[in-house]
Structure 1
Amino acid sequence: MALVGENGAGKTNLLEAISLFSPGRGLRRADLLGMARTGGPGGFAVSMTLSSGEDEHRLGTGYEPAAYETRAARVCRIDGASAPSPIAFSEFLRVVWLTPDLDGLFRGPAGDRRRFLDRLVLAVDATHGARVAAMDRALRSRNRLLEERPDDSRWLDAVEREVAELGIAVALARRETAERLDRLIAESRDDAQPFPWASIRLEGDLDDLVAVWPAIEAEDRFRVAMRQGRHRDRAAGRSLIGAQTTDLVVRHGPKDVPAGTASTGEQKALLIGLVLAHARLVQAMSGLSPVILLDEVAAHLDPRRRAGLFEALAALPGQVWMTGADEALFAELEGRADLVRVAEGRVTSP
């Protein structure tokens, strides 16, 4: 499916609506209130029907402001029944995406790569986001204790125990996904392909711990390190070790150089190849063919890579949604994909 329209027509809004059927905050990580139509009643609703053979399921999500006066909350439904959270959608659907915001991923800060990594993990492990959120809350509690009650060893021990358990669980989940993805890429790599293969690894103190020690031993060692680093962390105003410092290290495989040193075009191609490999991993691990959302992905590709992208997407089992401002970008897809025009927030033609 190719969505074509001028900038600001609403193409990305359609992709964002689909992305809400995955754990997390969608492809733009926007607040629920910010997703509602400007000038509208303040809420919104999105629904889809999934058909597979004789099975059919209706999924719905949205925001009802009248029902939640003090706190924005998402409403989720499956076949008309309430679901506790978007995690429940993962039984029926997996979604992966690539947006222009990620173009500077390899040269940007480690935090951006860490969020990208967690999205990779979340597509195969729907509970990962809850673990990361719980870990962040525990870290904030520790920081607050270090600032306000630095001599309260009993409470610090308790909070650090929680941080250690959650941090090691997060590190293990990241490591499993990264290793599986790196192995899948290595097994299918081809230097002649238009999208260079990547090698990936994780870099961080906790990543080193879980690579060497069993989980229980890693937790113990992490707790000792936090206890010994209390004065240092209090002075810094934050915890200096832990899963919150992990970095995703990516190398351009054929050239064997850091991804961040490659040209802009090479980085774009490398990122596309990484996302396509991740889509294959999601299918292999979950048994579900993912829905793939690609926002303005073809705009800055040369003709060879654009043709290679379309061929690679055709070989994937999942449904693909792409956007572009220029209809000519999708000329090669005539007869192989549906083209939809979008204007002023509405689909104008199928």
Structure 2
Amino acid sequence: MPFSRLSLTNFRSYADLVLHPGPALVVLTGENGAGKTNILEAVSLLAPGRGLRGAALGEMARSDGPGGFAVSGRLGEDVELGTGTLATAPDRRQVRINGAPAAANSLGEWLSVLWLTPAMDRLFTEAAGGRRRFLDRLALALHPAHAMHAARYEAAMRARNKLLADDAPADPDWLTALEARMAEHGAAIELARAATVSALAERLEQVPSGPFARAAIALDNGGAGEAGPLATALRDGRARDAAA
């Protein structure tokens, strides 16, 4: 669903700005320092996360403004998303959906934003961990529940690691329960990743042939979506993980 209106108040270099983008592709042009990236950062704040630059909230209010800032966007004709801070609490993020207070994570039910910046140009040549994190951001755009599965997987993994690191023998039943939870959410994570890569591969196949090489994408994910093998691998690897 495209933005039909974007409004900035005391955000970065803008005291007040209202844009009405059309439904087609939007290209921002202008001299260096004109505020193009500020607009993109404002859009990124209408999705979960810390935004395009990952800056602290207190740095986003206009330097010579009254303190605090506001960013709002209208999706279609009837969904209003808003975020910002108050002058009295510049480091506390406020979020509203259709005028009602909401949690920042709930923005993901309406909007997901993905970006590639020049600072990320080594993403595809360095460690696999960075590529997995980028793939997870892609998956989140198509599968909003992906963030929930990832968070619960990480929570169960931390709890399991803590049990294994303790000097006292870990309760095997509790370990089994944690590993079952990791396996359940891990399977959902792998399914979302696989579906995202499949969708991208399908779109790439539709690109007409030209003078340049066609891009391709694939994912080596063996038993994606199967919780059983992961639970077994975790159980069998307890001694190894405890010693790590």
Of the three residues 185, 189, 193, the one matched with 1:174 is 193
**Unpaired segments ≥5 residues, structure 1:** 237-350
User: Is 1:208–2:222 an aligned residue pair?
Assistant: yes
Q: Percent same amino acid at aligned positions?
A: 44
Match of 1:46, as an amino acid? V
- Any idea what SS the aligned residue of 1:48 has? strand
8 A contact 2:46–2:107 mirrored in 1: no
Specify the alignment match of 2:32 in structure 1.
6
Aligned residues: 217
1:19 maps to amino acid: S
Q: Does the CA-based 8 Å contact 2:109-2:144 persist in structure 1?
A: yes
Task: Point out the more displaced range, 177-186 or 34-43.
Answer: 34-43
Aligned residue number for residue 183 of structure 1: 202
Q: TM-score, normalised by structure 1?
A: 0.55
Instruction: Tell me: CA distance 1:73–1:178, structure 2 relative to 1, closer, same or farther (3 Å).
Output: farther
CA offsets 1:222-251 (integer angstroms, 9 cap, x no match) = 111101101111222xxxxxxxxxxxxxxx
- Is 2:55 aligned against 1:20? no
Pick from 225, 234, 237 the counterpart of residue 229 of structure 1: 237
TM-score w.r.t. the length of structure 2 is 0.75
Instruction: Determine whether 1:119 maps to 2:119.
Output: no
Match of 1:192 among 205, 210, 223: 210
Q: CA deviation at 1:95?
A: 3.1
C-alpha contact (below 8 Å) 1:44/1:64 kept by paired residues: yes
Indicate how the Cα distance of structure 1 residues 178 and 4 shifts in structure 2: closer, same or farther if over 3 A, else same.
same
Quote how far apart the aligned CAs of 1:40 are. 6.8
- Taking the aligned partners of 2:179 and 2:59, their CA distance within structure 1 comes to 36
Structure-2 residue corresponding to 1:45 = 70
**2-side partners of 1:126 and 1:192: how far apart?**
35
What is the alpha-carbon distance in structure 1 between the residues aligned to residue 52 and residue 215 of structure 2? 23
Which runs of no fewer than 5 residues in structure 2 stay unpaired? Answer: 1-26
Q: CA deviation at 1:107?
A: 0.7
Whether the aligned pair in 1 keeps the contact of 2:84 and 2:95 (CA below 8 Å) is: yes
Q: Which has the higher helix share?
A: 1
CA distance in 2, matches of 1:159, 1:23: 27
Look up the SS of the partner of 1:108 in the other structure.
Answer: coil
Q: Structure 1 residues 67 and 49, CA, compared in 2 at 3 Å: closer, same or farther?
A: same
Equivalent residues in 2 for 1:1-350 (5 A)?
1-6=27-32, 10-33=35-58, 35-36=60-61, 43-50=68-75, 52=76, 55-64=77-86, 66=88, 74-88=93-107, 90-91=109-110, 93-148=111-166, 149-186=168-205, 188-192=206-210, 196-203=213-220, 207-210=221-224, 215=225, 218-236=226-244
- Checking the alignment, whether the CA contact within 8 Å between 1:21 and 1:86 is kept in structure 2 is no
